[in-house]
Amino acid sequence: MITHLRIDNRLIHGQVAVTWKNHIGADKIIVTNDKVAADPIQKMALPLAARGSTVLVLSVAECIQYAKDHPNETMFVIAKFPSDALQILESGVEVKDVNVGNAAPINGTTYKMVDKSIAATAEDAVIYRKIAAMRGNKLISHLTPANEPRDFLKLLDEAGF
């Protein structure tokens, strides 16, 4: 089961590799995004950033199939974009928690800062709201286990989305 699905375009960094993985008690970290999974350099480098944790770098379709084939594993999945997370949720795979982590601004896009560490475009906001609708109209942003989770829909509203 996917115990924790984090949307974080920075993928693996110290916050994720140590703090979140230990907090969740995950067997492995799965990074999912089609372009990342097709990049041999990222497939090699991302596991190195996870400090000895088991890391898989998979396309979204491969992630969904892996989750279906290994329902008894405790998985921490990091989706690069909200669209990646939405595909996972739409597949029907069991996901316990969904968390909007960090989303650095992407050059060339029209974005607004939803908070100090999350940028979103209008298209992202639509996808986040679809995710929330699938989750009982709830979606949180939780940067680290030490921080308080925040209502991400409220942050979107405050940003004008």
Q: Verify whether residue 13 is a known catalytic residue.
A: yes
Considering the candidates 13, 23, 70, 142, report the single residue annotated as catalytic.
13
Are the beta carbons of 132 and 153 closer than 8 angstroms?
yes
CA distance readout (Å), 62 to 11, 66, 75, 92, 136: 17, 6, 14, 14, 26
3-state secondary structure of 75: strand
Question: Of the candidates 30, 72, 28, 80, which has an alpha carbon nearest to the alpha carbon of residue 52?
Answer: 28
DSSP 8-state class, residue 148: P
Instruction: Give every CB contact of residue 89 below 8 A, 6+ residues apart in sequence.
Output: 5, 95, 98, 131, 134, 135
Would you name the residues annotated as active-site residues? 13
